[in-house]
Amino acid sequence: MSLAVQIRQHGGPEVLELADLPVGEPGPGQVRIRHHAIGLNFIDVYHRTGLYPLSMPATIGMEGAGVVEAVGEGVTHLRVGDRAAYAANPPGSYCEARVMPAMGVCKLPDAISFETGAAMMLKGLTAQYLLKKTRPVEGLERGDFVLFHAAAGGVGLIACQWAKALGLQLIGTAGSDAKCQLALDNGAAYAINYASEDFAARVKEITGGKGVKVVYDSVGKDTWDKSLDCLRPFGLMASFGNASGPVPPFAPGSLGAKGSLYVTRQTLFTHISTREATQAMADDLFAVVASGQVKIHIDQRYALADVQQAHRDLEARKTTGSTILTLP
């Protein structure tokens, strides 16, 4: 049995309940992992509210780190006793132990702690595919400007540092002056408080009227329109989240009028759909973290039993960097 968080209906943080659930043995292609730390992500909120619906009852959580306890038939990249971490489907990482597909689980290098592993896999692999694989048709070169919303958040603080390591000038947005300072301290070239400033006007000013080659937008509804105004001709609008609500339908014709823009809606799970791709991206992430170029900021820790409060704080924009759930 394992202490786990489950929901029996979609709703507010109050639907998150602790339960004792059976764990079982791994079948072919699966492993059983005992968590040492669990990562909290905004997608967990979408699963809880039903923006991304789950069938009930459901367990949630997409990220964790721990020790492999049992290995099913056909699994060759993991052994019993390995330290491991993952960002993977299906939801269900908010627990002490679980059985899950081995495909998304990666061996964790000795230099990276369980807590850091749990805090960085989903957010770090996301920053990886955004900055390395979600690029404008004209490419990205050192010195280019990119706009990254919610730059002081979990994905955001990793992206600030990684963009700097790649030589990009990341313009970060955040909802307070303190968060803007945090983005700057972590490598953002510029930071804009979008609660008090017109971010499109500031982006034009910073870029000498030209605009940026790409906008990475996880805020969604509230930032969509103005983000399009931040782009250079042929620029890329890379939408990857809905923290403020989903982006409403829009007229493709507006993309022409604003300079033959490109739009994409990306999700990590397309990028990590094979073992090889997952491992290659994880190796890239492990290397940039081990080198010290990207530091993982665990700014909040909550006991698993306090998961409701963790969700409240994430949704209320009270958190910065990564948040983990700890186990007794």
Ligand X SMILES: NC(=O)c1ccc[n+]([C@@H]2O[C@H](COP(=O)([O-])OP(=O)(O)OC[C@H]3O[C@@H](n4cnc5c(N)ncnc54)[C@H](OP(=O)(O)O)[C@@H]3O)[C@@H](O)[C@H]2O)c1
> Rule CB under 6 A: which residues touch ligand X?
41-43, 122-123, 126, 150, 152-156, 174-175, 179, 218-219, 222, 240-244, 266-268, 314-315, 317, 319
Question: Is 79 or 265 the residue whose CB approaches ligand X more closely?
Answer: 265
Nearest distance in Å: CB 28, ligand X: 28
CB of 77 to ligand X, least distance (A): 23
> Is the alpha carbon torsion for 312, 318, 324, 325 positive or negative?
negative
**DSSP-derived pairing of the beta strands 30-40 and 97-101:** antiparallel
74: left (phi > 0), else alpha (psi -120 to 50), else beta?
A: left
The helix/strand/coil state of 5 is strand
What is the closest distance, in whole angstroms, from the C-beta atom of residue 81 to ligand X in the complex? Answer: 30
Q: Which is nearer to ligand X, 21 or 147 (CB)?
A: 147
Q: What residue is closest to ligand X based on CB?
A: 153
Nearer to ligand X, 103 or 268 (CB): 268
Min separation Cβ 239 and ligand X, Å: 8
Residue 118 CB, nearest approach to ligand X (Å): 13
Strand partners, 86: 64, 105
Name which of 71 and 230 has its Cβ closer to ligand X: 230
How far is residue 137's CA from residue 67's CA, in Å, rounded to a whole number?
42
Burial, 27: exposed, middle or buried (Cβ in 10 Å; 0-12, 13-18, 19+)?
A: exposed
Q: Which is nearer to ligand X, 251 or 316 (CB)?
A: 316
Residue 214 dihedral angles phi and psi, to the nearest 5°: -150, 140
